[in-house]
Structure formats: structure tokens, C-alpha cells
Amino acid sequence: MQATALQPASNGADWGESAVWIWKGYRCHWRVLGDPKAPAMILLHGFGASSSHWRHNAAPLTKAGYRVYGLDLIGFGRSEQPGLHPHIRLDNRLWARQVAGFLEQVVQQPAVLVGNSLGGLTALTTAAFRPEWVTAVVAAPLPDPALMQPLPRRQPRRLRQLKRRTVELLCRLLPLELLVPLISRTALLRIGLQGAYSRSIRHDRELHQLIASPARRPTAARSLRAMSIGMALRPRGATAPALLERLAKHDQPKPLLLIWGRQDRFVPLLIGEKLQQQHSWLKLRILDGSGHCPHDESPEHFHQELLRWLDLNLGRTSALEAQQRA
């Protein structure tokens, strides 16, 4: 493990103290805020975002009694943006291994994993394969096309080969080197971002910048191509339905909370309600007036639901909850 300290940062998008950690040869950016003796919580961002997207959450969660970490997943934020590799798939299994390595080498204690969208899927994957490093999982929300149409348990080899070749061909033909810079520097980015929010984000310059900056890096397009292929070609065992099945088979499944914005246009609430019916051991909380990023759009309501659930499931009372009761 190798870590290089960077200059401390302020609140907002540059919250906490920032550093770089080298994992498997990849440079990984991370942040931390809070008492080193407090229980650990890791915040995992969604697709296209970074640890900066937890700008409204780190300080309140620290005040609630947690040492809060933010990790930029490989390919995102300030972490390295690798391209296609013959032996490495850039998918939620790799990100889960990154998170497990971060827990083992940097945090050095089990932690609560809180993820938005892709970060929620990564948190679930980490808990399924490395449960010893996870105390609880929160996915806000949990996205995966397989939740709508699960993959068959075993596809014929010829069909798998055809799918792989087709996906790789299509992703290689896409002119991402032209599209990614175009989107990141025009109103197309704001239009796409607005789809993730219920409220207007027209004047939220900080949000626009924290999403646009990583996309403007010269390595962004190659990394997007690699993760598009990686996620499309995942085996069934790496999809959310299979991960939930795996987690449910544990003697004591890790506590799992789903937080869903009622106005989520990217991942409909219907999916969360269906999951609650299928898996009685997980809990679902719905936030009115929120879209796909409830942690950023309704942070106070998000914290309230998150901390109340953690208090019930981890047998502790947060500092914030104690203040409210007093």
C-alpha cells in the first residue's frame, strides 16, 4: 500500500482531507473527514460522478458520529482512467475489489458502505464477496438492467461468444473520443444531469463542474469504452439479482437498506418495491420530491432515513439522533 497526502480541502465539493492510494498499479483518489476513532463509513458515488458528489453529506454524517471516507472508483473522478485490458474487466467486480482493498489497506476496519446508483451496486458486490469488511449496505438506489430481465443461469457458449463480439464491436465503433468532450463542454451535459434530478439544477455550477471535470480528461473516453464493455459482458453472478441471492444465503445477511427517490426517472421505484417483496430481509425507504440522486437533492431527509436505520440495525445511537432526542 502506498499513499501520498495532498493538501487538505474545504467543505462543499472539495470536502475533507484528500489523498492518493496506489492499488494494483492504479492511482485512486480518496477523501476522509471525521474522528479517526469513530466507526467508518465509505461513500461510493454513481456513474459519471466522484467523491465530490457527496458534498452535502460528509459533514453531517461526520457530526452524526462517523469517520467518513469518499473513494473515487477506478475510471471516475480523480482516480486513474484505464482503457481496455485483456485480463481485466472494468465492472462492479473490479470496483468491489478496489473497495475491499481500500478497507483492508487504508481504513483498516469494517465499514458501512453507502452508495449512490453504481456505487450502490458496488457496495452490494463488496458485501456479497467480502462480507467480513462490511457492517451494513445502503444503496440509493440499486441499478441493474438484470433487475428487470435477469440473465439465464447458463447461456450456450456460442451465444456468449456472439454477444461478446457484438458488444466489443459496437463499443469500439462508437466515436467516444468525439462524443465525450462534446457532451462535457455543451448544454448536453446539463440536460443529461437534469434527468437525474426532480428539482431544477440550472444554476448549480458546482454540480456541473464536478461532473464535467473528469469527463474532460484525455483518458475519459477510453475508460468509458472499457467500462461499457465490462458491464455489458458481466456474468450472471455479478448482476444484482445473483448478488442478492448470494447475500441472502449468508447465515446472517448484512443489513441492507434501499433509498429511492419517488421521482427517479432513471431507475423506477417499481424496481425497489419489487425487491422489497422478493427479499423480506432488506428495507426500502422512499424520498418524496427526489430523483435519482436523493443524497444530493434531499440531503436532510436522506440523512434522517439513513441514520435512523443504522441506529436500529447496528445497535448504536448517532450523535445527531441523540441531539434530536434531547
How does pLDDT run along the chain (326 residues), one tens digit per residue?
444 444 344 479 999 999 999 999 999 999 999 999 999 999 999 999 999 999 999 999 999 999 999 999 999 999 999 998 877 899 999 999 999 999 999 999 999 999 999 999 999 999 999 999 999 999 999 999 999 876 666 777 777 677 778 877 787 778 888 889 989 999 999 999 999 999 999 999 999 999 999 999 999 999 999 999 999 999 999 999 999 999 998 878 899 999 999 999 999 999 999 999 999 999 999 999 999 999 999 999 999 999 999 999 987 655 445 444 44
**DSSP class per residue in 45-98:** --TT--GGGGTTTHHHHHHTT-EEEEE--TTSTTS-----BTTB--SHHHHHHH
Write down the pLDDT at residue 159. 73
Please tell me whether the peptide bond between 214 and the residue prior to it is cis, using omega within 30 degrees of 0.
no
**Phi–psi pair at 71, nearest 5 degrees:** -120, 130
**C-alpha span between 322 and 325 (Å, rounded):** 5
Domain count for the chain, please give it. 1
Q: What is the pTM of this model?
A: 0.91
Question: How many other C-beta atoms lie within 10 A of the C-beta of residue 156?
Answer: 9
What whole-number distance in Å separates Cα of residue 241 and Cα of residue 183?
32
The grid cell for 53 is: 458528489
Q: How far is CA 279 from the centre of its chain?
A: 21
Note down the domain range covering 318: 2-325
Q: What is the structure's pLDDT at 195?
A: 97
Supply the pLDDT for residue 210.
96
As a whole number of angstroms, the distance between CA 257 and CA 264 comes to 17
CATH number at residue 187: 3.40.50.1820
CB atoms within 10 A of CB 132: 9
Q: Helix %, strand %, coil % for the chain, to 5?
A: 45, 15, 35
Q: Which residues, in sequence order, are bridge partners of residue 32?
A: 17, 69
Strands (E), the chain: 2-8, 17-23, 26-33, 40-44, 67-71, 111-115, 134-139, 256-261, 283-287
